[in-house]
A = this chain, B = another copy of it.
């Protein structure tokens, strides 16, 4: 019996999480486990009604779970950034989910925008660092001849910034990114271990030729960590170049590890080459704490309640969740069932096929899981 938290969130979030639950429950029936869901009301509606994003109580409750099943957040009534930072990033940071795991895999029967590439060419995993870099939220903005004192304590590493900036510019803004040795080491170690289970090839992506301080440290740690994995072939790619190779030679990649911001960018590109955001899952993992699984797409408010949202990314994220719980057979069965639904055309209109509804697409996958 697994206790799993769920946060439907905004827009299409609740609909697609509902389909994901259907499928995970079907997997439970088939593979002999039960799931008890605890739903959390977190998102734009509650925020607009109460001004609460994620409360101390939410965090204390969520902490009891090994896994959170997350839909999506984002709402047209709220300024960009508020919900993303106040909910999604707040959870990733609070639970120190330092690995953001994003498989880039073109499933059989899915179209990629890349000419002449097929499922055997597009099958790699991006391990995105998830708690540091330019996502730490340190920055400010001010007018001419002003001095700013900033004092930020990042709880994880106890980093304290006291900043004093003066400027003649009419208005100036700055943003600080932070990388620590331990922060780089832990996510890189995760990536090396993953590479050992796959084709033993690991690509590190950075921009050490320009952002030499943060990514210079990232590289040094990578070279250190690599010494423990003599069987893994490693390479460095600059982030600008890697976007080219994802498009031109995706077959070169097996496991890719990268700091937070570049990871954000290259995994969206990866999502597109695997057929689009409707098909791209992600896991936010703290191996010793509370992890969170989500589609990497947003809340698509304009499609809310219309039954057209593609549930596959969320269902696939559910498969990552099962993997995380150790239910590897069930996890594999879910991906197989997704592939069956694509083969049979029982997919939402974005994938063509029979253009069925969100709920029909989800139910079909659940049935396939049960039938095996």
Contacts and interface: CB of A to CB of B under 8 A. Distances in A.
27 contacts: A115-B115, A134-B134, A134-B177, A137-B210, A139-B214, A141-B213, A141-B216, A157-B167, A157-B172, A159-B168, A160-B166, A161-B163, A170-B182, A171-B181, A172-B178, A172-B179, A172-B181, A173-B217, A174-B176, A174-B177, A174-B179, A174-B213, A240-B267, A240-B269, A244-B272, A244-B277, A262-B265
A193 interface: no
A182 B207 CA distance: 26
Which of A177, A179, A243 counts the most B-chain CB atoms under 10 A from its CB? A243
Interface in A146-166: 157-166
| Copy count, this protein chain | 2
A82 to B, nearest CB: 9
A260 to B, nearest CB: 9
Contacts of A212: 81, 85, 139
B167 A159 contact: yes
A169 B155 CA distance: 11
A109 to B, nearest CB: 16
B209 A84 contact: yes
Interface of A: 80-81, 84-85, 89, 112-116, 134-135, 137, 139-141, 157-183, 207-214, 216-217, 239-241, 243-244, 247-248, 261-262, 264-269, 271-273, 276-277
Nearest to A83: B209
A199 to B, nearest CB: 23
Contact of A169 (B114, B137, B157, B169): B157
A164 B162 contact: yes
Contacts of A214: 139, 141, 173-175
Contacts of A208: 80-81
Nearest to A174: B178
A85 B113 CA distance: 35
B276 A248 contact: yes
B170 A165 contact: no
B160 A163 contact: no
Contact of A163 (B114, B140, B164, B241): B164
B210 A182 contact: no
A161 B168 CA distance: 12
A269 B241 CA distance: 8
